[in-house]
Structure 1
Amino acid sequence: MPHFSRPIFLLAGAGLSLGLATGAAAQTRDLTPKYSNEFLNIGVGGRALGMGKVQVSLAGDATAGYWNPAGLLDQKHKYDAVLMHSELFSGIVKNDYAAFSMPLDDKSAIGASLIRSGVDNIADTRNLINEYGYIQYDKIRYFSVADYALLLSYARKLGNIEGLKLGANGKIIYRNVGSFANAWGFGIDAGLQYDHGGWRLGLMARDITTTFNAWSINADEFKGSASANDPIPTNSTEITLPRFVLGIGRSFKLPGELTALVATDLEMTTDGQRNTLVSSKAVSIDPRAGVELGFKDLVFLRGGVGNFQKIQAFTGKDEWKSQPSLGVGVALSGLRLDLALSRLAVEKLGDATQTNSIIVSLGYGFK
């Protein structure tokens, strides 16, 4: 595959250079907080989350609109739909996802994805005590804090290089904090996949042009409750810097109608130094690895690991910790049921424990 190695690394280098240049300019304006729009990096689909979020080179159904839109051209059925629900932090945060994709012709495909992550029924008790000093429960108001994203995807094959596919997302973002504030944003992602001799390569550039959120603050909601040390916020614009994910995977046939799929991803962020395995002010790199064992393309067992971070143990020594995951899946007559268990590393943090997250997704492909 020498004819492909040069284009992919040129694209990776050009995209990374664009992200760094844009990031440097944006950071001088102090508009680029770390982890901006982080709800879009939680991940979708039981298969992907069971494999440690290793999907950039593998995605080939409606979830490809999220992981790498180029993969929309690999779906096995004419129409494909996926639904997912997960709950984080012991059910406090609800994370929901829906996607649909279909081909336009033998060389192009489209898809749409909708993501919501939010916390509902938050109590606003600022008016709990009335003017006479008594508690008045009917004064409690409830609101939600939620983030929404709509991804519109397009993918196309390139006729001059067999196995090469390109894709792009246009995404609309809406973030809401009750009646206090809301934001609208827009961004663009671009991706490619290349298949050759059982090998699969993928490159995904998220927020490649940088993504902005324009916040609108309802100052009246803050009056009477803000202190001198906590002033009323004002309208502002928040920028999300590019991130790049480079992935490679390989499929194998094993005896007894068994198959194996092994893959790894390297995620590179450009919003400042992060607590990752490779960390610098310019770029931080988080490696991930995943494996999927299948039987007759009917039953699947999955595992993955990623999110390597250095933490300080109670002994005072620094230790590297990772986030492993497990998953199972069943595929029958176009119907796919995938379950994943993430955050398996349960550690004592004082009297509290980290809890696991169970992710359930349902997919269906039909003609």
Structure 2
Amino acid sequence: MAKRFLLAFPLLFFLFFTRSGQAQEISAPKYSNEFLNIGVGARALGMGGVQSAIVRDATAGFWNPAGLVGLPKRHNVSYMHSELFAGIIKNDFGSYATNLDSTSALAFSVIRSGVDDIADTRRLQNEYGAIQYDSIEFFSVADYAFLASYARRSNWLPGLTLGANAKIIYRNVGDFASAWGFGLDAGAQLRRGNWQFGVMAKDITTTFTAWKLNPDELESTYLQEENSFNTNSIEVTLPRLILGAGRSFQMTDRFSATVATDLDITFDGKRNTLLATGVVSVDPRVGFELGYSNTVFLRGGINNIQQFENLDGKGSWKVQPNFGVGVATHGLLLDLALSKVADNSQASSLIVSVAYSFD
């Protein structure tokens, strides 16, 4: 009876918040805390962000905390840096993960996505209309997430691992505004021979981010436009479900391969995805990895399948290709990836990751 309850509880729990999210569809934005959906790690992004079933390293705290049970060594550290739009947007990720024992693991992760050195020219002219360049100030707009992750191997189903995240969100817009938020994620992975399956439920409790505006910095601008504003507001992030499956192949003594797919399911109305209804949208992703002697890796993946309207009024589908390579030796792993490859090269992103595992 207890096992049946444990199997049914996650489904009932998620359905409850799915229905709650549908009720809030009108007031909740579709793209809240979207910096948490960019992704982390060059290996993952080189595979199109397909990780929920196959992740087994220090980035698992982000992709699926249940994967922390498969850490290669007792201590695991990882760092990633990437830039978008000619270096304007900078994304950084760092994590530390450790095996507590043979059945459980713990990880701490930090994410930052921001634009720095933005010029504030509101005071460029003095009261006489003269230009004063020394009055220009600079500020940053940055989003932060702090994740504490825990994973444990199940005792009642072989190959099953369970994990959860507690995350704190901090968003800052210079001296103009700031926000704090809190949310929970839950994940599971199941291994059956060469097959791997995963499920990741993000923001299962619905994440609320409370914004506080600074009236001293913004009031003059709003008064010029004859608008009023509230100094406090709440931003809601609705639940999201990711289902994944992957399979590993040992082709020869030296060559191996992994093929995986994820289905990113949102419940906040129709999005520009391959499968979309008025309530649910499904964004599929596919990725692969070829390995040689567990030392050299070649990766690829496609995601972000969207429909665009051409100049002639006809629609066409486009996909986002991703590529990556990796080298591993003596616990050190260096990964490079090229993601967000588009017609506009300024939108492409080069991701660099370094990871180290040791006992």
Q: Which of 29, 42, 48 in structure 1 is aligned with 2:44?
A: 48
Partner of 1:123: 119
1:269 partnered with 2:262: no
Please state how far the C-alpha of 1:94 moved relative to its aligned partner: 0.5
Equivalent-residue separation in structure 2 for 1:104 and 1:21 (angstroms): 37
- Closer, same or farther in 2 for the Cα pair 1:11/1:306, shift >3 Å? farther
Equivalent-residue separation in structure 2 for 1:11 and 1:301 (angstroms): 40
SS of the residue 1:187 aligns to = strand
1:249 partnered with 2:254: no
Q: Which of 23, 34, 38 in structure 1 is aligned with 2:21?
A: 23
Partner of 2:352: 360
Provide, for residues 11-48 of structure 1, a one-character-per-residue CA deviation record: whole Å limited to 9, x for no partner. Answer: 775355223212133335x2x11110000010000100
Please state how far the C-alpha of 1:225 moved relative to its aligned partner: 1.8
| Count of residue pairs brought into register by the alignment | 355
- Closer, same or farther in 2 for the Cα pair 1:266/1:95, shift >3 Å? same
Gaps in structure 1 of 5+ consecutive residues: 348-352
What is the TM-score of this pair, normalised by structure 2? 0.95
Equivalent-residue separation in structure 1 for 2:287 and 2:322 (angstroms): 9
Match for 1:39: what amino acid?
F
Equivalent-residue separation in structure 2 for 1:95 and 1:231 (angstroms): 34
Equivalent-residue separation in structure 2 for 1:101 and 1:301 (angstroms): 25
Partner of 1:14: 12
Equivalent-residue separation in structure 2 for 1:11 and 1:58 (angstroms): 24
Equivalent-residue separation in structure 1 for 2:326 and 2:289 (angstroms): 10
Which shows bigger deviation, 75-84 or 14-23?
A: 14-23
1:166 partnered with 2:168: no
Alignment of 1:200-349 (within 5 A): 200-226=196-222, 227-228=224-225, 231-347=228-344
Equivalent-residue separation in structure 1 for 2:121 and 2:16 (angstroms): 46
Please state how far the C-alpha of 1:256 moved relative to its aligned partner: 4.9
Provide, for residues 36-62 of structure 1, a one-character-per-residue CA deviation record: whole Å limited to 9, x for no partner. Answer: 000001000010000000000011011
Provide, for residues 145-194 of structure 1, a one-character-per-residue CA deviation record: whole Å limited to 9, x for no partner. Answer: 00000000000111121100000000000000000110000000000000
Alignment of 1:94-109 (within 5 A): 94-109=90-105
Provide, for residues 208-259 of structure 1, a one-character-per-residue CA deviation record: whole Å limited to 9, x for no partner. Answer: 0111101111111012222436543430111100000000000001125100
Match for 1:66: what amino acid?
F
Alignment of 1:188-203 (within 5 A): 188-203=184-199
Equivalent-residue separation in structure 2 for 1:356 and 1:311 (angstroms): 19
Which shows bigger deviation, 15-24 or 32-41?
A: 15-24
SS of the residue 1:105 aligns to = coil
Please state how far the C-alpha of 1:127 moved relative to its aligned partner: 1.1
The answer to whether the Cα contact below 8 Å between 2:14 and 2:204 also exists between their aligned partners in 1 is: no
Identity %: 55
1:114 partnered with 2:110: yes
Equivalent-residue separation in structure 1 for 2:62 and 2:279 (angstroms): 25
Gaps in structure 2 of 5+ consecutive residues: none
The answer to whether the Cα contact below 8 Å between 1:126 and 1:225 also exists between their aligned partners in 2 is: no
The answer to whether the Cα contact below 8 Å between 2:84 and 2:346 also exists between their aligned partners in 1 is: no
Please state how far the C-alpha of 1:354 moved relative to its aligned partner: 4.6
C-alpha RMSD of the superposition: 1.8
Equivalent-residue separation in structure 2 for 1:322 and 1:141 (angstroms): 40
SS of the residue 2:52 aligns to = coil
Which shows bigger deviation, 320-329 or 308-317?
A: 308-317
SS of the residue 1:251 aligns to = strand
